[in-house]
Structures are given as C-alpha cells and as structure tokens.
C-alpha cells in the first residue's frame, strides 16, 4: 500500500528520498505539477486550485494519505483544504509541523500554552508565496513566545535548481543570506523553508557561518510520517505500487530528476 507525495516540481524528491531511506518497504506515488511550477510566485487562489487538482490525482490513484512536500502549498493551501475540501476518509499532511516540533522541542499534541524556547532569533528562507502567507510564523506562535522570525524571500533559487544550474543557485543563496543579514545580523537558527533547499544546505551553511543551526525538512518529515503511520496504519490506502508522475513532459522531468537525485529516475504522465 502506498502514500502520496506531492510537490510543484522536483523539490519534494528530497522528502521522498528521506522517506525511502527511513522506510524502504513503503510504497509511494510521487506527483510533480511541473506544468504549473513554480508555485512560489503564484497567488493564494491559484496555488489552492493547483494543489487540490494535484492531490485529487493522488487520491484517484488510491492514496488516502498525501504529504504536501511543498512549503508553498502547505503555507497557502493546506488550511483551506482541511477546512473546506477534504473528506473524512482522506488526510493531507504539510511540512511545517515537523519543523516547528524540532525548533520548539515540543510535540504537536502538546496543547499547553506557548512558552519560551531555546532560540530567539530565527531566519526563514522560503519562496515569496510562503513568506507572504506568514503561515510559519502563525503556526509557530501557537507553540512558542519570544521568537523573532525574519523571513527572506528567495526568488530564483527554485528555478535555478530545477534547471540544474547550481552555480547560479549558490550565488543566489549568498545574495539572499546577505539580504537577511542586513535585517537580522546574528540569527541563531535558520529554517530552509522549501524542499528544494536541502540541495543547497552547504551553500546556506557557508553563507550563514558555522554557528547557525540549520533546520532542513526532509529528514524531519520522514521521521514524523513514520510516527504517524505507526499510529494510523489505516491511512496507507489501496495503492499497491511505487511510481513517479508528472503533469509536465515525462522525458524532460525524468532527465532533471535523475540529475537532481543523482540516480536514474523514470517519470510517467499523470
């Protein structure tokens, strides 16, 4: 039985890879909405429409549980989906919760009042849509007080990674970190708020300096999913085989995905 993993493009493959390494026997159906990528420059209604259409494709393939391995979709669409679109027999999980659990060292089921946590100055690097949604700050406020979050919209980084231009991506990372430092000179921690960004982890660390702790989502999401499936095994659904789907050109996406994960990847048309 399989779960669905959705992203607007290739970034979610970092989450897929972490899930596969943690639970190698778990079947997954990955869908990249490459036809409409990137989501990070779209407005909220457009992101919601694209996200629900894509998640429905995964539901139609037999997945009862879908991971939104896309920060933009998690920020701009997930709450609306849960309140107005999802049925009781389906579940969609975003990528913010595991990150906030790690940052605050509090389990999501801990409903005690917000309290002080170990860090006070946090840099958030994300797409323009994720930054403008302020979803990360909103969810963090339910768990922690006294945390100053400075968000930096990282325009162009996703496009450069998707195009395989990592020299440009590294230069853009340096530029965005420089811009962040002008607003917050001494962050204690940094959130890589896009599933593409783990591929640029070393570039972020170099630009931020060795004292800044970087929180990257892929491993945290995989750990959280394993815990969730242990508690809710019925959400595995009826899908019975792993596959990779795209709304774009399967040949081009397969080539880019192979470069992205550095191993052969074969995508099919959704």
Which residues are catalytic, by number? 70, 194
Collapsing DSSP to helix, strand or coil, 116 comes out as strand
Positive or negative, the Cα torsion across 59, 10, 139, 106? positive
CA separation for the pair 189, 211 (Å, rounded): 9
Adjacent-strand bridge partners of 2 = 27
Query: Among 205, 195, 144, 220, which residue's Cα sits nearest to residue 173?
Result: 205
Q: What is the DSSP letter of 108?
A: T
Encode 98-130: b = buried (16+ Cβ within 10 Å), e = exposed: bbbbbbbebeeeeeeeeeebebebbbbbbbbbb
Q: What is the DSSP letter of 127?
A: -
The answer to whether 33 touches 61, Cβ cutoff 8 Å, is no
Close Cβ partners of 258 (under 8 Å, ≥ 6 residues apart): 264, 265
The answer to whether 246 touches 32, Cβ cutoff 8 Å, is yes
CA of residue 213 relative to chain centroid, distance? 18
CA separation for the pair 228, 92 (Å, rounded): 12
């Amino acid at each position: 039985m399989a779960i669905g993993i959705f992203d607007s493009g290739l970034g979610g493959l970092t989450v897929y890879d972490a899930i596969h390494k943690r639970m190698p026997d778990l079947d997954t159906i990955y869908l990249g909405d490459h036809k409409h990528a990137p989501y990070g420059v779209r407005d909220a209604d457009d992101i919601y429409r694209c996200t629900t259409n894509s998640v429905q494709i995964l539901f139609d393939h037999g997945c009862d549980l879908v991971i939104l391995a896309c920060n933009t979709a998690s920020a701009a669409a997930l709450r609306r989906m849960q309140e107005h679109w999802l049925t009781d027999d389906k579940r969609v999980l975003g990528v913010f919760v595991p990150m906030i659990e790690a940052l605050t060292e509090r389990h999501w089921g801990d409903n005690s009042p917000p309290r002080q946590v170990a860090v006070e100055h946090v840099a958030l690097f994300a797409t323009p849509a994720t930054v403008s949604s302020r979803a990360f700050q909103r969810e963090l406020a339910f768990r922690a007080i006294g945390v100053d979050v400075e968000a930096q919209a990282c325009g162009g980084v996703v496009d450069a990674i998707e195009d395989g231009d990592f020299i440009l991506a590294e230069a853009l990372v340096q530029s965005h970190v420089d811009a962040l430092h002008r607003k917050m000179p001494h962050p204690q921690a940094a959130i890589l708020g896009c599933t593409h960004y783990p591929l640029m982890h070393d570039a972020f660390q170099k630009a931020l300096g060795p004292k800044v702790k970087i929180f990257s989502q892929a491993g945290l999401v995989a750990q959280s999913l394993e815990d969730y499936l242990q508690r809710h095994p019925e959400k595995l659904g009826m899908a019975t085989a792993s596959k990779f789907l795209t709304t774009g050109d399967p040949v081009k996406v397969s080539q880019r995905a192979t470069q992205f994960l550095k191993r052969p990847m074969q995508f099919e048309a959704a």
